[in-house]
Chain A
């Protein structure tokens, strides 16, 4: 018997299809600036308010991967409100966790000062490498109350499952 088939999955696959309650997140100017600085962004519309306004934007523009910041902030807000997060629901174990894939579809810009709503759906679970890796996929949407859908995301996370103990 292939030893890998004996590895035991960690994800709670009964959560497939679960929609996590949307919460509101305020996009902060300082957070866009700090995040952009760490990534070495060179376009001043991400950190210089005058440059952003001169380029026709109402405020600082969030860079493309800022989506993650909003999701992390949403998870903090859920914890504060006593709502179980997607990571908690699927039982992420950070000892074995890796990121599989991340994809964004951009409909409209996210600006500093926006109060956006973000909801997540747990879409699927699957295995790879004979069960040595297990995956979970999520879809999320960031929606602005007036401007509508701003960004959609598709993501997979995976556990590299430990060898079974004999």
Chain B
């Protein structure tokens, strides 16, 4: 059961958190293969070092995909109308990500009642990695 009912949820309510990681190099290799994003900066340390980086770093879209789960595991993917996020800092190898969402607005659009949620991903040291917002439709 959802901890918060979609139709009676109050502005300011937070959704159940989703955690992910620590992100291993194996996870990055699997995400590269699964997504088709073969940018070597995420999977090839030789490439990363030649580019002046200390190490490979995680795909932003890996965290983005995990961040969407906070909303869809609560509202269902069919209710999702919009999801957007800015990549505000780099997610490093071994980071453990916490994903949170808070209801910030209730509004009418497209002939239905919708909720807007603020979404944020942070690493274990409190560093914000992604922030953005999602829109879901009420049943």
> Which A residues have a C-beta under 8 Å from some C-beta of B?
31, 34-35, 37-43, 45-46, 61, 63-65, 68-69, 71-73, 75-76, 94-106, 109, 154, 162
Contact = CB atoms under 8 A, between A and B. Distances in A.
B39 A97 contact: yes
A162 B47 CA distance: 16
A80 to B, nearest CB: 13
A35 B35 contact: yes
Interface in B70-129: 72-73, 76-78, 80-87, 90
Contacts of B31: 38
Contact of B81 (A94, A101, A102, A105): A105
A105 to B, nearest CB: 5
Nearest to B39: A94
- Interface SS of chain B: helix
Nearest to B61: A68
Interface residues of B, number: 40
A104 B82 contact: yes
A144 to B, nearest CB: 16
Contact of B34 (A38, A71, A75, A154): A38
B68 A63 contact: yes
B25 interface: no
Contacts of A39: 62, 65-66, 69
A45 B66 CA distance: 16
B77 A42 contact: no
A106 B137 CA distance: 11
B77 A61 contact: yes
A94 B64 contact: no
Interface majority SS on A: helix, strand, loop or mixed? mixed
Contacts of B40: 94
A98 to B, nearest CB: 7
Contact of A34 (B27, B34, B69): B34
Contacts of A154: 84
Contacts of A46: 77
A98 B87 contact: yes
B65 A98 contact: no
Contacts of A61: 77-78
B77 A64 contact: yes
Interface in B26-64: 27, 30-31, 33-41, 47, 50-52, 60-62, 64
A104 B81 CA distance: 8
A69 B20 CA distance: 20
Nearest to B79: A106
A109 B85 CA distance: 20
Nearest to A75: B36
Contacts of B20: 40
Given A38-B30, A65-B64, A104-B83, A109 B72 contact: no
